[in-house]
Amino acid sequence: QVTLGESGPALVKPTQTLTLTCTFSGFSLTTSGMSVSWFRQPPGKALEWLARIDWDDDKYYTTSLRTRLTISKDTSNNQVVLSMTNMDPVDTATYYCARMQRGTSGSYFNFDYWGQGTLVTVSS
Amino acid sequence: QAVVTQEPSLTVSPGGTVTLTCAASTGAVTSGHYPNWFQQKPGQAPRPLIYSTNNKHSWTPARFSGSLLGGKAALTLSGVQPEDEAEYYCLLYYGGYWVFGGGTKLTVL
C-alpha cells in the first residue's frame, strides 16, 4: 500500500525558510523510474507544480521559483524534503507531495499517489 | 514558461456527456506532453484520473476517458453522475518541468 504524508510548520514568518518533509511508504525511491514531486495550491486557486526528484537524484524545479527551492531525498528514511527560502504571504498555500512513476524509455508519466497536503500560512 | 488553458467552468446535466479541454500556449498538445488529468473536490487532495493522454488508473470510473482532440488534451465524461461535480485540472510535461492548467469547475445540474 502506497502512502505519502506531508509535514512541516503550519505558520512561518515572512523572509523565513520553509522546510517540508514528505514521508512515504509502499515504494522505494531507489527503484528505477520512481520520482516524488511537490505541488502547492493557494486558497481558492489552481494547483502549481514546484519540484521533482528522481530515483537517480536528478532534480527539476519550476522556472519561476528555481532560485528559492531545494529538493533532496533521504532514501534510508523514505523521505523527500523541500526547502523554500524567503517566504512571503503569497506563498500561503496547501503543499502536496505525490509519487510519479516513469515508464521505460519515458513511455508514460503517472502521478498516482498523493499526500493529503499541509496548509502553510505565511504571516508575521 | 508555458501557459496551459482550460475552460473556467462547464455545466452538464446528469446522464449527459461533457468534454473538458486543455490547451498549450506553445502550440498543439501532443502525446509528448503526457497529459495527466485530476479531479479535486473541496477540501480534498487531487485525485488522479488519467495519465499519459488516455491511461486510466485502477480506480478511474469507466465513464472518464482521455484523448487528444483538435490540438488539445481532452477529458470526456460520458453518463455524468452528480458526484462528478468537482474541479478538474490537466497537467502537461515540458521536458523536465510540469505545468497545470487553471482548472475547470464542472457543475452537474
What tens digit of pLDDT does each residue of B32-59 get? 999 999 999 999 999 999 999 999 999 9
Cell of A85: 527560502
Cell of B109: 445540474
pLDDT at B7: 98
> Which uninterrupted H or E stretch holds A53?
strand A48-54
Q: What is the separation, in whole angstroms, between the first and last Cα of chain A?
A: 40
Give residues 30 to 69 of A whose Cβ lies within 8 Å of B: 37, 39, 46-49, 52, 60-64
Mean pLDDT, chain B, rounded, equals: 97
Of A63, A98, A112, the CB nearest to B97: A63
Asked if the model's pLDDT at residue B83 lies above 90, the reply is yes
Of A46, A107, A111, the CB nearest to B103: A46
Asked if the model's pLDDT at residue B93 lies above 80, the reply is yes
* Position A103 confidence tier, pLDDT thresholds 50, 70, 90: confident
What's the rounded Cα separation, in Å, for the pair B96 and B101? Answer: 17
Cβ neighbours of residue A60 closer than 8 Å, sequence gap 6 or more = A51, A52, A53, B96, B97
* Position B20 confidence tier, pLDDT thresholds 50, 70, 90: very high
pLDDT at A89: 98
Asked if the model's pLDDT at residue A106 lies above 80, the reply is no
